[in-house]
Amino acid sequence: QVQLVQSGAEVKKPGASVKVSCKASGYTFRTYAIHWVRQAPGQSLEWMGWNNADNNYSKYSQKFQGRLTITRDTPATTAYMELSSLRSEDTAVYYCARGRYDDSTSFDFWGQGTLVTVSS
Protein backbone atom coordinates (compact mmCIF):
# COMPACT_ATOMS: atom_id res chain seq x y z
CA GLN A 1 0.00 0.00 0.00
CA VAL A 2 1.11 3.55 -0.69
CA GLN A 3 2.74 5.21 2.30
CA LEU A 4 4.49 8.50 2.90
CA VAL A 5 6.36 8.61 6.20
CA GLN A 6 7.79 11.92 7.34
CA SER A 7 10.58 12.76 9.75
CA GLY A 8 9.88 13.84 13.30
CA ALA A 9 8.99 17.14 14.91
CA GLU A 10 11.53 19.96 14.91
CA VAL A 11 12.11 23.02 17.08
CA LYS A 12 14.13 25.78 15.46
CA LYS A 13 15.23 29.30 16.33
CA PRO A 14 14.33 32.26 14.14
CA GLY A 15 16.72 32.58 11.24
CA ALA A 16 17.58 28.89 11.16
CA SER A 17 16.71 26.33 8.48
CA VAL A 18 14.74 23.11 8.69
CA LYS A 19 14.82 20.07 6.43
CA VAL A 20 11.93 17.59 6.50
CA SER A 21 12.07 14.20 4.79
CA CYS A 22 9.26 12.16 3.25
CA LYS A 23 9.97 8.46 2.67
CA ALA A 24 7.72 6.89 0.02
CA SER A 25 6.85 3.23 -0.39
CA GLY A 26 4.27 1.04 -2.11
CA TYR A 27 4.46 2.68 -5.54
CA THR A 28 6.94 3.64 -8.27
CA PHE A 29 8.42 6.78 -6.72
CA ARG A 30 9.98 8.10 -9.91
CA THR A 31 6.64 8.43 -11.74
CA TYR A 32 4.70 10.67 -9.34
CA ALA A 33 5.19 14.25 -8.23
CA ILE A 34 5.57 15.15 -4.57
CA HIS A 35 3.99 18.33 -3.21
CA TRP A 36 4.46 20.08 0.11
CA VAL A 37 1.56 21.69 1.94
CA ARG A 38 1.63 23.35 5.35
CA GLN A 39 -0.99 24.13 7.96
CA ALA A 40 -0.42 26.72 10.68
CA PRO A 41 -2.19 26.06 14.01
CA GLY A 42 -5.95 26.45 13.55
CA GLN A 43 -5.50 27.62 9.97
CA SER A 44 -6.19 26.36 6.48
CA LEU A 45 -3.91 24.48 4.12
CA GLU A 46 -1.25 26.31 2.13
CA TRP A 47 0.45 24.91 -0.94
CA MET A 48 4.21 25.50 -0.88
CA GLY A 49 5.67 23.83 -3.93
CA TRP A 50 6.27 20.59 -5.77
CA ASN A 51 8.86 18.38 -7.37
CA ASN A 52 7.92 17.02 -10.77
CA ALA A 53 8.85 13.37 -11.27
CA ASP A 54 9.36 13.54 -15.01
CA ASN A 55 12.44 15.74 -14.98
CA ASN A 56 13.05 16.38 -11.27
CA TYR A 57 11.98 19.98 -11.72
CA SER A 58 10.84 21.93 -8.68
CA LYS A 59 8.39 24.80 -8.65
CA TYR A 60 7.60 27.01 -5.68
CA SER A 61 4.79 29.24 -4.57
CA GLN A 62 5.71 32.88 -5.03
CA LYS A 63 5.41 33.31 -1.27
CA PHE A 64 8.34 30.98 -0.61
CA GLN A 65 10.61 31.85 -3.54
CA GLY A 66 14.19 32.11 -2.35
CA ARG A 67 13.55 30.35 0.98
CA LEU A 68 12.26 26.96 -0.11
CA THR A 69 14.07 24.04 -1.71
CA ILE A 70 12.33 20.79 -2.64
CA THR A 71 14.44 17.87 -3.79
CA ARG A 72 14.17 14.13 -4.20
CA ASP A 73 16.56 11.19 -3.87
CA THR A 74 15.05 8.68 -6.28
CA PRO A 75 17.13 5.62 -5.27
CA ALA A 76 16.16 6.27 -1.64
CA THR A 77 12.51 7.00 -2.61
CA THR A 78 12.66 10.04 -0.38
CA ALA A 79 11.66 13.66 -0.94
CA TYR A 80 12.94 16.61 1.05
CA MET A 81 11.66 20.07 1.89
CA GLU A 82 14.08 22.66 3.23
CA LEU A 83 12.86 26.05 4.43
CA SER A 84 15.39 28.69 5.42
CA SER A 85 15.34 32.02 7.29
CA LEU A 86 12.64 30.69 9.57
CA ARG A 87 10.37 33.07 11.43
CA SER A 88 7.65 32.51 14.01
CA GLU A 89 4.98 32.58 11.30
CA ASP A 90 6.51 29.41 9.82
CA THR A 91 5.34 27.41 12.84
CA ALA A 92 3.07 24.82 11.25
CA VAL A 93 2.51 21.18 10.40
CA TYR A 94 4.24 20.41 7.11
CA TYR A 95 2.81 17.66 4.91
CA CYS A 96 4.19 15.91 1.86
CA ALA A 97 1.58 14.65 -0.56
CA ARG A 98 1.61 12.64 -3.77
CA GLY A 99 0.06 14.05 -6.93
CA ARG A 100 -2.50 11.69 -8.49
CA TYR A 101 -0.34 11.73 -11.60
CA ASP A 102 2.77 13.68 -12.37
CA ASP A 103 1.28 17.11 -13.01
CA SER A 104 -1.99 16.59 -11.16
CA THR A 105 -3.21 19.23 -8.74
CA SER A 106 -5.02 16.64 -6.60
CA PHE A 107 -3.14 14.92 -3.82
CA ASP A 108 -4.19 11.33 -3.20
CA PHE A 109 -1.80 10.22 -0.46
CA TRP A 110 -0.42 12.32 2.36
CA GLY A 111 2.31 11.94 4.93
CA GLN A 112 1.41 12.05 8.61
CA GLY A 113 2.72 15.60 8.96
CA THR A 114 5.75 17.10 10.67
CA LEU A 115 5.33 19.84 13.27
CA VAL A 116 7.92 22.56 12.93
CA THR A 117 8.01 25.04 15.80
CA VAL A 118 9.97 28.27 15.40
CA SER A 119 10.68 29.90 18.72
CA SER A 120 13.48 31.81 20.37
Partner 1 sequence: QSALTQPPSASGSPGQSVTISCTGTSSDVGAYNYVSWYQQHPGKAPKLIIYEVDRRPSGVPDRLSASVSGNTASLTVSGLQPDDAADYYCSSYAGGNNYVIFGGGTKLTVL
**Sites of contact with partner 1 (CB under 8 A):** 35, 37, 44-47, 49-50, 59-62, 65, 95, 97, 100, 104-108, 110-113
Cβ nearer to partner 1, comparing 50 with 80: 50
Closest CB 55 distance from partner 1, rounded Å: 16
| Nearest-angstrom CA–CA distance, 66 and 43 | 24
Cβ nearer to partner 1, comparing 27 with 60: 60
Give which of 68, 63, 105 is closest to 85, Cα–Cα. 68
Closest CB 2 distance from partner 1, rounded Å: 12
H/E/C letters for each residue in 95-110? EEEEECCCCCCCEEEE
Q: What is the DSSP letter of 53?
A: T
Cβ nearer to partner 1, comparing 31 with 105: 105
| Nearest-angstrom CA–CA distance, 23 and 69 | 17
**8 Å CB contact between 6 and 112:** yes
Cβ nearer to partner 1, comparing 9 with 16: 9
Closest CB 113 distance from partner 1, rounded Å: 6
Closest CB 8 distance from partner 1, rounded Å: 15
3-class secondary-structure state, position 114: strand
